[in-house]
Structure 1
Amino acid sequence: MSESKPVISVVAGALMHADGSFMLGSRPAGKPYAGYWEFPGGKVEPGETPLAALVREFREEMGIEVSHATPWLTRTHHYEHASVHLRFFRIWAWQGTPQPHEGQSFAWQTPGHHSVTPMLPANDPVLRSLQLPDVLQISCVGECGRDHTLEVLAQRDNPGWVIVREPQKSREQLADFVAEVADIVHPKGGKLLVNTDPAWIKGWPVDGLHLSSQRLAALDERPPHLAWVGASAHSSAELARAAALGLDYALLGHVQPTASHPQQAALGWDGFARLLQDEIPLPVFAIGGLQAADLDTARQHGAHGIALMRGAWQ
């Protein structure tokens, strides 16, 4: 009987600039996969918390002091020599200038356009996650109005990512509205997803699909031929389902009471964070009763970002 591989607990961090660029580092000579590029970090020592290990590793590897970091993704990757349990953080503030204390190289990269190779295999899905925005905007024409929604989008230099969710519309009505949103969003570099039956969207000018929790439960595989697919989730089981299908993100909520769910028990931030305690390998957006000012709080509780419905169109 072959011996099982050891499981090594590791932290890794992405230094983040305000423009969305992030830092990668090359692995030093003498280590497995020497010369491959990765997010800097290292092993968690006995008795250390993941955050303490992150701070220590960045001090030792590049001589900076991490002052603001938030938990992000958790993944397990199986290499030939060991299985690595990776906790990823994003680092928003630090003191000092990164210096290669271990003979490595550093490179700032743009999401979706990394220029260094080869990449450590565990990092491919993480790099993709960095293409996601801080905020997802969800339409609610029934409350905010069609004209107001389109006017708000038209006034924004960067319309960001929009999820069209209009369950009251017929297929034809939804197709017309999606086309109107696409005409505004796409020329400005934004992305458009739609929350609807996957069978409806063939030929529509969309960048992806958002699944309700009911549609998520009914699927056996990720819908094919779509660049981006996400889903709504309300439990750890639904988050695990989204991860198992290889989806790109999940919305988790509701965090606070909302106008449409005033009587239902909200998760609160502590409940939201508890649902992310298990290994969640995909980015999760907090949703439900939130405003743009809640972004950093969401990140501190493990979210990639926030999703806004009514708050997106004020």
Structure 2
Amino acid sequence: MTQPVVDVAVGVLIREDGRMLLGSRPQGKPYAGYWEFPGGKMEPGETVHDALKRELDEELGITLRRSVPWFVTEHRYEHAHVRLHFRRSKDFTGEPVAKEGQEFGYFSASERTPGLLLPVDLAIVARAELPDVFEERADQTVLSTAALRATVVRDRDARYVGARAETFDDVMKARAMDFDFVIVPKAAFEECVRGGEALLPVYVEGVPAAELDRWQEAGAHGVKP
């Protein structure tokens, strides 16, 4: 029997020091004790931001002011098929309150949580440290569009692997290959996202850093001047 898809709003809340909020799943729920990003199921008619704002207030006592779309992915658990709508925010107030006996903390990607992370969140933690303005880095590999279309990369020595993309099909292939980001021309941005949500973190090429906020509101991870 096919499982219905459950839409879930997920928050990547980042403090000024770059650490992200993670918490444990409470007892009595599937994967109790595992750690994850905070969030919850979307209610009918809610936007992703509104659902995340409600969940953070109800579950943790955190007030979310602003968030921007990051990317959406799906994952099948034994108990559910979920569509995870990730949003990032640096604009929130309040310290998390453990209303259901959870543990919480702020962590960098290199720090270990007290318990295991949910499998779907392992790659997400690392991606959250990608800079908003693209940087050439020694710990990343970027494939050309032609290489993406012709090659399956099996060796992931680099911390981050990305590719240039020009179409939605390119982005689909990059996601299937478990890449961490794509770089798209400004003119191809709308083609490479759906409804303001990307399938992977997207850098928009040829855009100055001064326009970062505008493009993040539209669903980009960042810009590549």
Q: Is this a same-fold pair by TM over 0.5?
A: yes
**Is 1:287 aligned to residue 224 of structure 2?**
no
Once the 2 structures are TM-superposed, how far is the Cα of residue 78 of structure 1 from its aligned partner?
A: 0.5
**Residue of structure 2 equivalent to 1:170:** none
**Is 1:224 aligned to residue 224 of structure 2?**
no
Cα deviation 1:144-186 (Å, max 9, x = unaligned):
xxxxxxxxxxxxxxxxx31xxxxxxxxxxxxxxxxxxxxxxxx
Aligned in 2, Cα 1:225/1:125: closer, same or farther, shift over 3 Å? closer
Once the 2 structures are TM-superposed, how far is the Cα of residue 12 of structure 1 from its aligned partner?
A: 0.7
Question: What TM-score, normalized by structure 2, do the two folds share?
Answer: 0.91
Residue 226 of structure 1 aligns to which amino acid in structure 2? D
2:62 is matched with which residue: 48, 64, 70? 64
C-alpha distance in structure 1 between counterparts of 2:183 and 2:53, whole Å: 29
Cα deviation 1:41-72 (Å, max 9, x = unaligned):
00011221211111100010111221110111
**Residue of structure 2 equivalent to 1:82:** 80
Question: What TM-score, normalized by structure 1, do the two folds share?
Answer: 0.67
Q: Counterparts of 1:32-111 in structure 2 under 5 Å?
A: 32-111=30-109
Larger % of strand: which?
2
C-alpha distance in structure 1 between counterparts of 2:40 and 2:156, whole Å: 36
Runs of 4+ in 1 over 4 A off after TM superposition: none
C-alpha distance in structure 2 between counterparts of 1:208 and 1:85, whole Å: 28
Q: Percent identity?
A: 40
C-alpha distance in structure 2 between counterparts of 1:135 and 1:123, whole Å: 23
C-alpha distance in structure 2 between counterparts of 1:14 and 1:248, whole Å: 16
2:147 counterpart SS class = helix
- Higher RCO (CA 8 Å, separation ≥ 6 residues): 2
C-alpha distance in structure 2 between counterparts of 1:128 and 1:9, whole Å: 23
**Residue of structure 1 equivalent to 2:142:** 210
Q: Any conservation in 2 of the 1:129–1:282 contact (CA below 8 Å)? A: no
1:135 counterpart SS class = coil
Q: Any conservation in 1 of the 2:148–2:163 contact (CA below 8 Å)? A: yes
Aligned in 2, Cα 1:222/1:280: closer, same or farther, shift over 3 Å? farther
1:22 is matched with which residue: 4, 20, 23? 20
**Is 1:248 aligned to residue 166 of structure 2?**
no
Q: Counterparts of 1:131-150 in structure 2 under 5 Å?
A: 131-136=129-134
**Residue of structure 2 equivalent to 1:121:** 119
**Residue of structure 1 equivalent to 2:5:** 7
Residue 210 of structure 1 aligns to which amino acid in structure 2? V
2:126 counterpart SS class = helix
Q: Any conservation in 2 of the 1:273–1:302 contact (CA below 8 Å)? A: no
Higher Cα Rg, which structure: 1
Once the 2 structures are TM-superposed, how far is the Cα of residue 92 of structure 1 from its aligned partner?
A: 1.5
C-alpha distance in structure 1 between counterparts of 2:5 and 2:40, whole Å: 13
Q: Any conservation in 1 of the 2:42–2:48 contact (CA below 8 Å)? A: yes
Once the 2 structures are TM-superposed, how far is the Cα of residue 226 of structure 1 from its aligned partner?
A: 2.6
Once the 2 structures are TM-superposed, how far is the Cα of residue 97 of structure 1 from its aligned partner?
A: 2.6
2:33 counterpart SS class = coil
1:306 counterpart SS class = strand
Larger % of helix: which?
1
Q: Any conservation in 2 of the 1:298–1:305 contact (CA below 8 Å)? A: yes
Once the 2 structures are TM-superposed, how far is the Cα of residue 273 of structure 1 from its aligned partner?
A: 4.8
Once the 2 structures are TM-superposed, how far is the Cα of residue 33 of structure 1 from its aligned partner?
A: 0.9
1:53 counterpart SS class = helix
2:214 is matched with which residue: 291, 294, 297? 297
Once the 2 structures are TM-superposed, how far is the Cα of residue 112 of structure 1 from its aligned partner?
A: 2.9
Once the 2 structures are TM-superposed, how far is the Cα of residue 223 of structure 1 from its aligned partner?
A: 4.7
Once the 2 structures are TM-superposed, how far is the Cα of residue 115 of structure 1 from its aligned partner?
A: 3.0
Q: 5+ unaligned residues in a row in structure 1: which ranges?
A: 137-160, 163-190, 193-206, 256-265, 309-314
Once the 2 structures are TM-superposed, how far is the Cα of residue 236 of structure 1 from its aligned partner?
A: 0.9
C-alpha distance in structure 1 between counterparts of 2:154 and 2:167, whole Å: 22
**Residue of structure 2 equivalent to 1:174:** none
